[in-house]
Amino acid sequence: MSTDIRHIGIFCSGGDAPGMNAAIRAVVRTATFHDLHVHGIYNGYEGLIDGNIKRLENRDVANIIHKGGTILKTARSERFMTKEGRKMAYETVMAHDLDAIVAIGGNGTLTGAKVFQKEFDIPFMGIPGTIDNDLYGTDYSIGFDTAVNTAVEAVDKIRDTADSHNRLFFIEVMGRHSGYIALYTAIASGAGGVLIPELSADVDDLLKLLKRMMKRKKLFGLVIVAEGNENGSTHEVAKLVSKKLEDYEVKVAVIGHLQRGGSPTSNDRMLASRMGNGAVEGLLKGQSGVMCGIHNNEVIYTPITEAIKKVKAIDKSLLDLAGVLST
């Protein structure tokens, strides 16, 4: 076990994700178990630049495991993208005697960590906190399971009104570059179709699917659309389909930021707790410049460069499953 690390800083950056608080709690309590000190950095990289830091004790993270959002707040920082901003952040690290930093967030957060560590040789440990589930090196990221459950619950409610009025609903979920939320939501909610960035399906392909559905005398339909699909906005897709399928009344529902909020599921709490613990244990064993993830139910460490550059491909078997179950 390393004796070089005594003070750990921790922050959240980028979009919030349910389960971040559980990860913060696990980092603080694991560090306390090893007689280390943890300093919470508020508002992400912005807080690191401004010195917005507070010592965190076990009592500070009590009663937060069930809460969505993040007690440390989060932000995106344009200043950190400049050398001057990163220099100010380094001065904060030195002023507070931080030996290592745990960063919870997505691709942008880890990219910033990689640059900062290269410039100033500060040990960094990443924790994947993003509802998009798009980081390589972990089967699931913190917040994904909760976001899918939130989306499925919303779709179930929309199904009731779609059935009552014989409507075709296009339901937009988050995912500018990743279709994980859309694909899992489509399968779990029994949707008739799904459009995701990773699948080059056009509106004509979707129309063929919907027409088969009409032949089965199905009087309503649900199509899950990731916001980053290649066919344009959900409203544009719905408009194109409505011109071709006059038998359906076409409606659009955008779930939006509901997917970011809410109490994290038990799966996200477990995931975040294991990753928070693994982050501290990894730092003490000399791991640095890596992201702590879970693969095949085991804690692993993936170089941040790989985590942000390698593509986390959609499981083709799930795409096939979605197609089979929608017929």
Fill in the amino acid letter for 289: G
Fill in the amino acid letter for 83: K
Quickly count: other Cβ atoms within 10 Å of residue 6's Cβ.
15
Q: Are 260 and 147 in contact (CB under 8 A)?
A: yes
Q: Tokens at residue 11, please?
A: 């922050």
User: Using the 8-state DSSP alphabet, how is residue 166 labeled?
Assistant: T
Residue 132 annotated as catalytic: yes
Q: Which of 132, 134, 145, 268 is catalytic?
A: 132
Q: Are 106 and 74 in contact (CB under 8 A)?
A: no
Q: Helix crossing, 144-165 with 266-284: angle to 10°?
A: 160
User: Using the 8-state DSSP alphabet, how is residue 152 labeled?
Assistant: H
Contacts for 43 with CB less than 8 Å, ≥ 6 apart: 11, 50, 52, 72, 73, 74, 75
Contacts for 46 with CB less than 8 Å, ≥ 6 apart: 52, 75, 77, 79, 80
Q: Are 295 and 183 in contact (CB under 8 A)?
A: no
Catalytic residue numbers read 132
